[in-house]
Amino acid sequence: MAENLKFRNPAMAQNIASKIKNLASQTEKTKICHVCGTHEWTITHFGLRGLLPENVEVIAGPGCPVCIVPAAEIDEAVQIAQMGIVVTCFGDVLRVPGSKMSLLDAKAAGADVRIVYAVSDAVEMAKNEPQKQFVFFAVGFETTAPSTALEALGKPPRNFSFLVSHRLIPPAMELLLGVGDLQIDGFIAPGHVSAIIGLKPYELFPRVYRMPTVVAGFEPIDVLMSVYMIVKQHVEGKPRLENEYPRVVKPEGNLRALEMMRKAFTVTGGNWRGIGRLPDSALQLKESLADYDARLKYGVHVEQGKDILLGCECHLVIIGKIKPAQCPMFLTACTPEKPVGACMVSNEGTCRVWAKNVAVQS
Amino acid sequence: MDINGTKANVDFGQGVLREVNVSLVEAKVGEYVLVHAGYAITVIEEKEAKETLSLWNSILETSPE
């Protein structure tokens, strides 16, 4: 599509940037938080922060689904793999540190851990190798949860089960508002999560917290436009919910996907790495699907793990309190090749995004 | 490119083809879908994409400085 290029048009970017600058001069500062690893990638990769005036800051919140999986749940996956069960997962989960080891370490020690592109690939494997037991480690926000739901409801083979570690984004956004010294002035809401959940879950942010909230896409112009819309709301003092990404996000979301999630999961409290326990922020399989719940099937339950290693500042990076470069380990003891913290592991992790685009940043 | 029950062959551009599960959306052959981890999660409206661009242009041209 020729339109693709228009969403990256440099002249348009400059035009929006100067509009932002003019608007922002009417207010002391505007601090904007996004909650999506892909937004951080767009912002960092295209050097968008360099286009913004000094009094407009964009920080990265907990938007990396892999980074926030607590060590205890990695430990559960490792335990299952060590029982001789095939553990399947998305590629970026493999190196996330557990309390003692990652799934990659377990694999190196002989466990059968396999990367899949989609949960359906894992189900296929289980069908093709009926003599083995398979577990899919289901990590991710509302974007991947519907595919887990779909397969769980679709009568997977008996030798297949799920270790569900899905988390929900709106409760994490609400948490950020409670972190006193963050002092956020607006939210960029994640476009692809919103494609599933629609606009309704964000309504409380402008209404209850008077927080400008704009659902945005992932091209550079999308992000700049959302910054412009938030600064405008902030200057006008009229917080509201706007959708910058209507080509993908419908107000009602994806009803079919939401229905699948409602049928397969109950919402429960869950731990987030570096953050702690958030009420109503995690999904677990319904009782009717208990046969497919790997925790029950194999009796694994790790209450607490070691989330943050000594010296690692992931817990501050995850909530946007510090920038990766402010961590003493960043690109010294902790690198993309040998990550110490979860934020350096995933392509959506803030530290890794910064490490890979450091030339653009500096 | 073609749809067979819950599975569709999707052209990702630059010669990349992959089978994608389309049970979560109502997609027709020829439409653009947004694919996340092997599942189409929404149909992208070309009309909306064009309207977005023209809306942006109008905001940028008319907004007071």
pLDDT in tens, A185-238: 999 999 999 999 999 999 999 999 999 999 999 999 999 999 999 999 999 999
Mean pLDDT of chain A: 93
Q: Measure A292 CA to nearest chain B CA, in Å.
A: 21
Residue bearing the bigger pLDDT, B51 or A247: A247
A117 DSSP 8-state letter:
S
According to the model, what pLDDT value does residue B46 have? 80
Average pLDDT (A274-297) is 96
Task: Give how far B3 is from chain A: nearest CA, Å.
Answer: 17
Structure token pair of residue A277: 């326990």
Co-location of A161 and A267 in the same domain? yes
Do A76 and A163 fall into the same domain?
yes
Confidence of residue A4 (pLDDT cuts 50, 70, 90): low
pLDDT at A272: 95
Residues 6 or more apart whose Cβ sits within 8 Å of residue A188: A32, A33, A34, A35, A36, A39, A58, A214, A215, A216, A223, A226, A227, A230
The answer on A235 and A152 residing in a single domain is: no
Structure confidence at residue A2 (pLDDT): 47
> Least CB-CB distance to B65: which of A22, A118, A250?
A22
Residue A313 has pLDDT above 90, yes or no: yes
Count residue pairs from A and B with Cβ separation < 8 A: 89
The Cα–Cα gap between A329 and A185 comes to 30
Residues A184 and A100 in one domain: no
> Which domain CATH number covers A180?
3.40.50.11750
Per-residue model confidence (pLDDT) at position A358: 66
| B46 reaches A (C-beta below 8 A) | yes
| Helix/strand number for chain A, H first, E second | 16, 11
Rounded distance, CA A120 to CA B25, Å?
Answer: 16
Q: Are residues A77 and A40 in the same domain?
A: no
In whole angstroms, what is the distance from residue A39 CA to residue B47 CA?
Answer: 24
Tell me: pLDDT of A359 over 90.
no
Instruction: Supply the CATH number for residue A119's domain.
Output: 3.40.50.11740
User: Is A155 a domain residue?
Assistant: yes
- pLDDT at residue B15, as a whole number: 78
Instruction: Give just the sign of the alpha carbon dihedral A267, A268, A274, A275.
Output: positive
Q: How many CA atoms lie within 13 A of A78 on its CB side?
A: 24
| Nearest CA distance, B29 vs chain A (angstrom) | 16
CA B5 to chain centre: 19
Query: Are A84 and A164 contained in the same domain?
Result: yes
pLDDT at A317: 93
A37-51, A108-122, B35-49 — which one is most confidently predicted on average?
Answer: A108-122
Same domain for A155 and A279? Answer: yes
Calpha distance B65→B62 (Å, rounded): 9
What number of other Cβ atoms are within 10 A of residue A263's Cβ? Answer: 14
Give me the pLDDT at residue A361, please.
46
Is A3 inside a domain boundary? no
* Sheet bearing B7-11, strands edge to edge: B2-4, B7-11, B17-21, B39-44, B32-36
Q: Average pLDDT in the A42-48 region?
A: 92
Give a yes or no: residue A115 inside a domain.
yes
The pLDDT confidence band at residue A151, using thresholds 50, 70 and 90, is: very high
Q: Are residues A259 and A113 in the same domain?
A: yes
What's the gap in Å between the CA of B7 and the closest CA on chain A?
11
**What phi, psi does B58 have (nearest 5°)?**
-70, -40
Q: Cβ separation of B41 and A260 shorter than 8 Å?
A: no
Classify the complex by whether its ipTM is higher than 0.90, answering yes or no: no
Whether A156 and A87 map to the same domain: the answer is yes
Residue A321, domain member (yes or no): yes
pLDDT tens by residue, A66-79: 999 999 999 999 99
Tens digits of residue pLDDT in B33-57: 999 999 999 998 888 878 877 877 7
Number of domains composing chain A:
3
Q: Identify whether A187 is part of a domain.
A: yes
% of chain A beyond a pLDDT of 90: 88
Nearest CA in chain A to B18: A117
Inside any domain, residue A47: yes
Range of the domain at A291: 71-168+253-298
Q: What is residue A1's predicted lDDT score, i.e. its pLDDT?
A: 47
Same domain, A137 and A274: yes
Q: Which two tokens stand for residue A185?
A: 């002035």
Domains in chain B, ordered, with CATH? 2-62 (2.30.30.140)
Both A189 and A234 in one domain: the answer is yes
Task: Report helix, strand or coil for A109.
Answer: coil
Average pLDDT over residues A343-354: 91
Of A127-136, A268-277, B25-34, highest mean pLDDT: A127-136
Q: Do B39 and A147 touch (CB under 8 A)?
A: yes
User: Is B58 an 8 Å CB contact of chain A?
Assistant: no
Strand bridging mode A186-190 / A86-89: unpaired
Integer CA distances (angstroms), A91 to A104, A270, B45, in order: 10, 23, 30
Is A354 part of any domain?
A: yes
> Between these two residues, A1 and A276, which has the higher pLDDT value?
A276
Domain presence at residue A24: no
One domain, residues A103 and A132: yes
Q: Which of A44, A35, A42 is nearest to A351 (CA)?
A: A44
**pTM summary value:** 0.92
